[in-house]
Structure 1
Amino acid sequence: MQKIKTTLLSIQGLRKVSISGANLSKSIYLGIALTFISYNEANAQFTATGQLRERTELRAGQGTLQKEGDKAALFNSQRARLNIGYSGYRFKVFMALQDVRVWGQDASSINRTTTEANNGIMLHEAWGEIMLNDTVSKIQNLSLKIGRQEIAYDDQKVLGSLDWLQQGRRHDAIVFKYANKGWIADVGAAFNQNKELNTGTIYNGTNPAYPAGTNGIGTMYKSFQYAYLGKKFFFGDVSFLFFKDDFNKYTNVTSGTPAVTSKVYGTGVWSRNTTGIYFNSAVTRKLNLTGSFYYQGGHDKDGRSISASLASVTSTLQVGRKLFVGPGIDYLSGTDGTKAVTADSKSNLFDPLYGTPHKFWGSMDYFYVASPFGKQGLLNYFFKMKYNAKDNLTFLLDIHGFEAANNLSNGAGGKLNSYLGTEVDLLVKYNLTKMINIEAGYSIMKATNSMASAAVKNVATPDLTPQFAYVMLNIKPNFLAKK
């Protein structure tokens, strides 16, 4: 508004100075043009976008094996988001309000009776970012970002927004950000409490309405601290990550008749440390390699000592103008199922933290999502193919071979076959317009008896050919865009 007022005053000045009618007309036209330019500059500081995402799913063993004869599930879920942003002098603010629901979860069409467990309306993001360097600084960016925000780096294997999940993933955190000449350096931290307290900082990390944590661990971190350093080179990108998440200590107390064991939280934390590197390199003009290695140490949420690792390599080769293919392998360490687990034994189970497992370990979400699949670790052999039929039409085919990375016990002192199953994922993406996308997917797995065993996931008389299909409509309007 200040720019517009200044421009209007300049128009008045131009009108007073102009003598001839021609000069007067030119001055008015110039003033009007400057007014519109100033208005567009002021308007560009404000952004308003949205998203409506409808997904219909047919699940016949998605996420966990079904028993033979079980009926398939069919439902439609919906995400609605309103994103509002504003940029001012040396600051930015952003808020994303979202509503996530399954059609019909409200018991009435006129009264809202949805419980917390059904997610519903929530604030997905709400953060402010303060620029610590002014406009004349030679540093590209030096800022402090604080509030509810998505935290995602590199390929999102260990830290990601988990966009496939309708409610997504976000953190309440503060992040110091630096960027200059191809270097990126972020330092972040979070500290959680159940509620306002007058004494103490005990945090139980659980909410009966929502399954806290990730990968079936059932416990939310009390705090975390991390450092990320990345650099763009002529051959690609290289980055380093150190992430420490802390879990409130507890003791198991048994009381009552019949005896009931419960957790009693006390002071102090168990800390888990994850350190690793990531690279993305163009080996040749048509061959790209992406890889990562992470080591996990410290203690898990139950106080067990950890020594675990993740290693991954993915290749992508361009064949012709439209086809991209490439094999790859992921290794995540796990627990030896043939050895007895004691309170003093070390855990070798790698937890891929707060990443996006749907992107890497199969569209059917068997591993490292919400189920305990993967406790013996995972070897994921895969081959991926992408075909860009048109500018707005893409076909993707992924083939996975899943194997336990450690021994599986048969419960009688012997071992089971470590191979778990083969999964095929087919995906089609079609952009109707820049703001409207349609996506459809079909997945099928040929699981083994080991997959259904007590060593992995005990399922009696399992259906060893689970299937999953979905259709998704994604509309992302820009409310301030010109028609």
Structure 2
Amino acid sequence: MLHQAEAQLTLSGQLRTRTEFRDGQGAPLPKDAKAALFTSQRTRLSLNYNMYRIKFGVTAQDVRVWGQDVSTINKTTTADNNALMLHEAWAEILLTDTIVKNKTFSLKIGRQELSYDDERLVGKLDWLQQGRRHDAALLKYETKNGYLLHTAFAFNQNRENASGTIYNSTPPGNYTASTNGGTMYKSMQMLYAGKKLEQGNASFLFLADQFSKYHSDSLNAKIFETGTWARFTTGVYFNNTFNKIATTASAYYQFGKTSTGQELSSYLLSGSAQYLFSNKFNAGGGVDYYSGGSNGTTSHTFDPLYGTPHKFAGFMDYFYAASGFGKGGLVDYYAKAKYKPSDKFQLATDIHQFSSAASISGTDKKSLGQEVDLVGVYSLTKMIGFEAGYAHYFGTSLIASPTVKNVTNANLQSNWAYLQINIKPEFLLK
């Protein structure tokens, strides 16, 4: 049978600027510290090509802060700045013929984003200007009636070695590799099985990641060794809408060893409900419980892997994002509301009560503070969007204590505000 070659080539871009006022974002500032103000910019150019039994995608990305280079420099030479880079470069081979309409089986290889469910554990981290991607192979089996089975594999090396596979897993620059501030995995295997429901989906995840073994020398520097420590995370996710109540629930268990070689047994429990009062307004609440602490030599601190914490634990990124906060875990009680009077405008607000999941040595207190977030989004056109937000963190003495954020003479009232302009053109190819 002859197949007609109908190639599709699309070219799109993005220019996203974000001006931020930071007065305690990520962690409280000392009382004598001054607030920060800057503008960061992400520029992307994406090319996608589809033809018979193959898809191909490339995304070039530049991330920088306005003014980080003097006007006579045309190339960023400091690795910490993470400026011009290749964000995605992948090809997807359709292993089943495209004339088979009820199922697909494909292999996607190369640098790619991985995004599953609500992105709590595996997500593209789009809020961060540089985002997150993986160098991996992804096998995908999907059926027309909503079943899907994905398996991913990755094996990292620092260079083309002549011998051996020892991997220096310390990430370059100022950015941590995992959501919880950990080092980069040496290898990773993932199994994801899901079923699309009428108004939601249910899924099962098993993810194993391995980290290079190491020991510390007399200067406390890492000396990497042959072999790995293996960590395993497994659990289920569910979301669906019943009448006017949108529900979400998930439960995950983590075991094996941490990236530092410590025995691990931890868990995450999450549940929420939103009531749809109308097409314009919904409100509700929920709770997220990330276990923490330790028992003897066993850690009970859950690591939310490679997710998007900005969506969950407060927009000021105090937890699982900008800076560490000890090993006590987190309990997050929250209420959320969203008002959308038109297709072009929406307003959302969140209120959080944060507490340590485990007891912290030297105190019987667990409250880490409260946070209020407010975000407005306006779409001028399909390709031009404006977003503004403000957040305030009401800290406690515990959040600044040595075993949590470790800030001396901290200002416990913190603020953060931003204005973001997102332009995403789609170029016409003739």
Aligned to 1:269: 228
Do structure 1's residue 149 and structure 2's residue 119 form an aligned pair?
Answer: no
Deviation per residue, 1:7-40 (Å, 9 max, x gap): xxxxxxxxxxxxxxxxxxxxxxxxxxxxxxx9xx
Root-mean-square deviation over aligned CA pairs: 1.9
Instruction: Find the aligned partners of 2:427 and 2:257 in 1 and give their Cα distance.
Output: 48
1:396 is paired with a residue whose SS is strand
Structure 1, unpaired ranges of 5+: 7-37, 255-259
CA contact (8 A) 1:334 1:374 kept: no
Relative to structure 1, the CA distance from residue 212 to residue 62 in structure 2 (aligned partners, 3 Å threshold; closer, same or farther) is closer
Instruction: Find the aligned partners of 2:269 and 2:326 in 1 and give their Cα distance.
Output: 15
CA contact (8 A) 2:182 2:259 kept: no
CA contact (8 A) 2:28 2:410 kept: yes
CA contact (8 A) 1:291 1:314 kept: yes
1:358 is paired with a residue whose SS is helix
Instruction: For 2:397, give the aligned amino acid.
Output: N
Instruction: Find the aligned partners of 2:79 and 2:249 in 1 and give their Cα distance.
Output: 39
The equivalences for 1:437-456 within 5 A come to 437-456=385-404
CA contact (8 A) 1:84 1:94 kept: yes
Relative to structure 1, the CA distance from residue 186 to residue 172 in structure 2 (aligned partners, 3 Å threshold; closer, same or farther) is same
Aligned to 1:197: 161
Instruction: Find the aligned partners of 1:207 and 1:355 in 2 and give their Cα distance.
Output: 17
Aligned to 2:240: 281
369-378 vs 345-354, greater mean Cα deviation: 369-378
The equivalences for 1:71-470 within 5 A come to 71-180=34-143, 181-215=145-179, 217-234=181-198, 236-254=200-218, 260-284=219-243, 286-335=244-293, 345-373=297-325, 375-410=327-362, 415-470=363-418
Instruction: Find the aligned partners of 1:299 and 1:229 in 2 and give their Cα distance.
Output: 24
Aligned to 2:32: 69
Deviation per residue, 1:50-99 (Å, 9 max, x gap): 00000000000000110113111000000000000101110000000000
CA contact (8 A) 1:214 1:370 kept: no
Greater share of helix residues, 1 or 2? 1
CA contact (8 A) 1:58 1:470 kept: yes
288-297 vs 100-109, greater mean Cα deviation: 100-109
CA contact (8 A) 1:215 1:370 kept: no
Relative to structure 1, the CA distance from residue 374 to residue 293 in structure 2 (aligned partners, 3 Å threshold; closer, same or farther) is farther
313-322 vs 117-126, greater mean Cα deviation: 313-322
Deviation at 1:135, TM superposition (A): 2.3
Relative to structure 1, the CA distance from residue 481 to residue 288 in structure 2 (aligned partners, 3 Å threshold; closer, same or farther) is farther
Instruction: Find the aligned partners of 1:233 and 1:246 in 2 and give their Cα distance.
Output: 33
Instruction: For 1:94, give the aligned amino acid.
Output: G
CA contact (8 A) 1:107 1:113 kept: no
Percentage of identical aligned residues = 50
Deviation at 1:455, TM superposition (A): 2.1
Deviation at 1:252, TM superposition (A): 2.5
Deviation per residue, 1:102-159 (Å, 9 max, x gap): 0000033454354111111000000000000002325421100000000010000000
Instruction: For 1:83, give the aligned amino acid.
Output: S
Instruction: For 1:325, give the aligned amino acid.
Output: A
Instruction: For 1:315, give the aligned amino acid.
Output: A
CA contact (8 A) 2:79 2:172 kept: no
CA contact (8 A) 1:422 1:446 kept: yes
Larger Rg: 1
Structure 2, unpaired ranges of 5+: none
Instruction: For 1:187, give the aligned amino acid.
Output: T
Aligned to 2:424: 476
CA contact (8 A) 1:174 1:190 kept: yes
Deviation per residue, 1:240-286 (Å, 9 max, x gap): 000000001112233xxxxx2332211111000000100012122x1
Relative to structure 1, the CA distance from residue 481 to residue 436 in structure 2 (aligned partners, 3 Å threshold; closer, same or farther) is farther
Instruction: Find the aligned partners of 1:64 and 1:370 in 2 and give their Cα distance.
Output: 8
Q: Relative CO higher for 1 or 2, CA cutoff 8 Å, sep ≥ 6? A: 2
Q: How many residues align?
A: 428
2:216 is paired with a residue whose SS is strand
Greater share of strand residues, 1 or 2? 2
Deviation at 1:331, TM superposition (A): 0.2
CA contact (8 A) 1:228 1:239 kept: yes
Deviation at 1:428, TM superposition (A): 0.1
Q: Pick from 40, 48, 58: which aligns with 2:21?
A: 58
CA contact (8 A) 1:368 1:374 kept: no
Instruction: Find the aligned partners of 1:216 and 1:116 in 2 and give their Cα distance.
Output: 22
Instruction: Find the aligned partners of 1:317 and 1:261 in 2 and give their Cα distance.
Output: 52
CA contact (8 A) 1:205 1:212 kept: no
TM-score by length of 2: 0.96
* Runs ≥4 residues deviating over 4 A: none
CA contact (8 A) 2:372 2:393 kept: yes
